[in-house]
């Protein structure tokens, strides 16, 4: 059996379609989504409509929650300049205006975390940031003591979360922690410390015939030109700024 783990599409329909083609080619049996579906990308409604047809179990990310409630995103202002903050808030407002009530109703069905056990397979606990909060971040470098607090009261063979936009494999006690990276906004840090986005979509696949399993991290390339065309046609505010961090 193969289970695809996806996260953080962020309104990037071009990247999502590339992943769906790859999932079909690899004959994946089931997919689970870890949150942040529509915010800050050029095609939020189109992404929502497509994912809704897939009938995936979906975790509620922090931006799913704010979009469902139709309130501004709770940004961590210390992480960006005043100008980037202004543009990001404008983009958040634009995204909220794109959505219909039915879109918000769909996002409201997402769950804080999902626990499932495929037949003869490992147990999965799926969340966005951590099992207790969709705002917390788990990194490879998160101290064990802090991680213990994040996972308190939880037991699973596989803990799967997103939010950081960076692929990660980490062993913790008898479990593994997996971050599939981001479908729509994968983060790569260059030599100067600047975060840039490559034109490929990230996700992960867990394969098993019984409880022992294998894990594969996947990066699917797609055309940056197609993404730029989608951005230009969408009416996304500050489109040049949004595209400036992308590379192929």
Instruction: Indicate the DSSP class of residue 79.
Output: G
Mean pLDDT to the nearest integer, 172-190: 95
With a cut of 80, say whether residue 214 has pLDDT above it. Answer: yes
Domain ranges of the chain: 2-247
In the predicted model, what is the mean pLDDT of the chain?
95
With a cut of 70, say whether residue 79 has pLDDT above it. Answer: no
Contact 4, 30 (CB under 8 A): yes
- CA dihedral (67, 224, 230, 99) in degrees, to 10, reads -10
Of 55, 54, 62, 74, give the one whose Cα is nearest residue 37. Answer: 62
Question: Reduced to 3 states, what is the DSSP secondary structure of residue 221?
Answer: strand
User: Residue 77's pLDDT is what?
Assistant: 56
Percent composition of the chain: helix, strand, coil (DSSP 3-state, to 5): 35, 25, 40
Residue 93 pLDDT level (bands cut at 50, 70, 90): very high
Contact 189, 195 (CB under 8 A): yes
- CA dihedral (196, 17, 54, 26) in degrees, to 10, reads -100
Mean pLDDT to the nearest integer, 181-191: 93
Using left for φ > 0, alpha for ψ between -120 and 50, and beta otherwise, residue 241 falls in alpha
- Under CATH, domain 2-247 is a member of which superfamily? Metallo-dependent phosphatases (3.60.21.10)
Contact 156, 125 (CB under 8 A): yes
User: Residue 191's pLDDT is what?
Assistant: 80
With a cut of 70, say whether residue 20 has pLDDT above it. Answer: yes
With a cut of 70, say whether residue 104 has pLDDT above it. Answer: yes
Of 133, 116, 176, 122, give the one whose Cα is nearest residue 35. Answer: 133
Whole-angstrom distance, CA of residue 71 vs CA of residue 133: 18
Residue 58 pLDDT level (bands cut at 50, 70, 90): very high
User: Residue 78's pLDDT is what?
Assistant: 57
pTM score: 0.96
Contact 56, 9 (CB under 8 A): no
Whole-angstrom distance, CA of residue 137 vs CA of residue 43: 26
Residue 68 pLDDT level (bands cut at 50, 70, 90): very high
């Amino acid at each position: 059996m193969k289970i695809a783990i996806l996260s953080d599409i962020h309104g990037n329909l071009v990247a999502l379609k590339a992943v769906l083609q790859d999932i079909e080619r690899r004959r994946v049996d089931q997919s689970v989504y870890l949150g942040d579906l529509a915010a800050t990308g050029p095609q939020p409604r189109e992404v929502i409509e497509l994912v809704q047809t897939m009938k995936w179990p979906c975790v509620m990310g922090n931006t799913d929650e704010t979009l469902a409630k139709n309130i501004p995103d709770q940004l961590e202002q210390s992480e960006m300049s005043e100008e980037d903050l202004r543009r990001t808030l404008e983009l958040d407002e634009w995204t909220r205006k794109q959505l219909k009530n039915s879109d918000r109703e769909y996002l409201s069905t997402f769950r804080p975390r999902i626990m499932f056990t495929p037949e003869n397979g490992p147990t999965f606990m799926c969340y966005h940031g951590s099992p207790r909060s969709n705002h917390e971040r788990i990194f490879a470098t998160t101290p064990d003591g802090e991680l213990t607090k994040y996972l308190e009261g939880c037991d699973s063979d596989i803990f799967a979360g997103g939010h950081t936009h960076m692929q990660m494999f980490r062993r913790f006690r008898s479990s593994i922690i997996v971050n599939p990276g981001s479908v729509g906004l994968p983060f790569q840090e260059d030599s100067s410390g600047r975060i840039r986005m490559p034109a490929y979509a990230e996700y992960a696949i867990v394969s098993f015939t019984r409880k022992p399993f294998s894990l594969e991290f996947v990066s699917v390339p797609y055309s940056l030109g197609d993404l730029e065309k989608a951005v230009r046609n969408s009416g996304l505010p500050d489109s040049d700024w949004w595209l400036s961090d992308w590379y192929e």
